[in-house]
Amino acid sequence: MLAELDSIKSDALIVIEAINDDSGLEEARVGFLGKKGRLTAASAGMRDVPKDQKKDVGQKLNEVRTAITAALDEKGAALTATRDTAAFASIDATLPSRSLPQGGLHPLTHVLNEAVSILRRMGFALAEGPEIETEWHCFDALNTPEDHPARNESDTFYFENGKLLRTHTSSVQIRTMEKEVPPVRIIAPGSAFRRDEIDATHLSAFHQLEGLYVDKKVTLADLKGTLEYFFRELFGSKTEVRFRPHFFPFTEPSFEVDLKLHATGKAAKWIEIAGCGIVDPAVFSEVSGKRGDLAYDPEDISGFAFGMGLDRLAMIMYGIPDLRLLIENDVRFLGQFTK
Ligand code: DAH
């Protein structure tokens, strides 16, 4: 019996050594260790082994089974390793990796960052207010009468509870003055909403940048100097800036600001870019009524305000012909602005 077990073992090791594929491995496992395998058959002979030899034969049986199992496992691992090596042979791990596409900032974000950084250098702090506004903050406090066209249902998105989507960022002027006392020097970039017919120059959601400066003795000269400097920083020192008298309910006097850019190639022409003016004392009176103090006493302080369309700034800065390009998220368009 012991001799038979030894010969099963040596036969098995020879067979396993010669195996070179998975099916051969499986065949050998079944042939030696399977239900009808040689070792299984041999172990049935244990019954006939005299008692005093059972222990030795049992040990031998275990030893042979362990040896065959180990040989099968080792062969299995070797076959897997050979297969892996072959699969990796066609891969050159020293090649540099393919570069991944990198995202970039939206053109509006570029313009916004640039505008904000110029104004912050001039001492303006960032302020914000809600996009869902009360009529009071959006209109009444800004001296805009009930019958003003901007308050019309056909121009403004109203909610059933009487609130509205702010039609301009000027409401942030009021929000700021409710909380802070002068001197106040803020800019408020943000979204604004109007029920406009959508075309190349109008979207129902757009972006503005508001500014407000309130202090003792703020004058028109401060306003002009601030905006001239701002636009020349943004578009170049040769940029011409023109103030044209206009009307806004919340400023008096009011102006529209036009720019003439001296960019290469194009014939320079005036383009309208912003609204501005000296804060109307009626606005300070409204704010004072709400605050219940004299911090914004129109006899004591004065201020200037301005507002401009950021989308329009982006169109000018990058020569974008159609506003809708800014919201379509076409990577062929957006990819041109990644720096
Ligand atoms: N809110 C105005 C608009 O949306 C722009 C504007 C004009 C803002 C004059 C101002 C200002 O602060 O002083 O058309």
Instruction: Count CB neighbours of 249 within 10 A.
Output: 17
The minimum-distance atom of ligand 1 relative to the CA of 170 is 1
Tens digits of per-residue pLDDT, 119-148? 999 999 999 999 999 999 999 999 999 999
Ligand 1: residue whose CA is nearest its atom 4: 168
Q: Give the tokens for residue 31.
A: 């042939």
Find out whether 95 and 163 touch, Cβ atoms under 8 Å.
Answer: no
Q: Is 82 helix (H, G, I), strand (E, B) or coil?
A: helix
Rounded Cα–Cα distance for residues 174 and 85 (Å): 72
Find out whether 218 and 297 touch, Cβ atoms under 8 Å.
Answer: no
Residue 310 CA to ligand 1 center (angstroms) comes to 13
DSSP state of 331: H
Rounded Cα–Cα distance for residues 127 and 190 (Å): 10
The minimum-distance atom of ligand 1 relative to the CA of 173 is 12
Ligand 1: residue whose CA is nearest its atom 8: 307
Ligand 1 pocket mutation pick from 139, 167, 248, 272 by most atoms within 8 angstroms of CB: 248
Tens digits of per-residue pLDDT, 7-43? 989 988 898 999 999 999 899 899 998 899 888 888 8
More confident residue, 209 or 8: 209
Residue 150 has pLDDT above 90, yes or no: no
pLDDT recorded at residue 263: 67
Residue 68 CA to ligand 1 center (angstroms) comes to 89
Q: By C-alpha distance, which of 235, 184, 192 is closest to 211?
A: 184
Q: By C-alpha distance, which of 272, 176, 183, 180 is closest to 231?
A: 272
Q: Which residues pair with 187 in a beta bridge?
A: 126, 211
| pTM for this model (two decimals) | 0.73
Beta-strand pair 125-126/184-193 = parallel
Ligand 1 pocket mutation pick from 156, 222, 276 by most atoms within 8 angstroms of CB: 276
